[in-house]
Structure 1
């Protein structure tokens, strides 16, 4: 059986990967995740949820997200990861 490796042309975008990690945290349908969604207000995430998302993003993208980085919306996470994963 042939198993293809993921190539750059078929790998999910950073945005898609961040959406997947965030939606997986509380089994939210990916269709509910929008870049403008507030983690606390719209998605009802608490501090523990946000910390778990940060840890998963750090593992997945081999980056470090300092505590002082303001991350309130899904778009904040996407922008941060996009900027720092590209630099890695």
Structure 2
């Protein structure tokens, strides 16, 4: 699932692929997103803070070239449900 909230937080419970390199095709797509911005239909659904956050995250992901990982070592959702 995607989260467009403007506050940064890695929102996942699947860390098995953290640190793995991104596929070349995905890097191309991230570069295109950084260059072209969001499509009109998606941009219309997000507020300006959310649009900026998506583009910033996409640029960072493309620059890193790897899937994010959890530096804290905590591998369970918090707070507990």
TM-score (norm 2): 0.29
Q: Which structure shows the higher helix fraction?
A: 1
Specify which structure has the bigger relative contact order, considering alpha-carbon pairs within 8 angstroms and separated by 6 or more residues.
Answer: 2
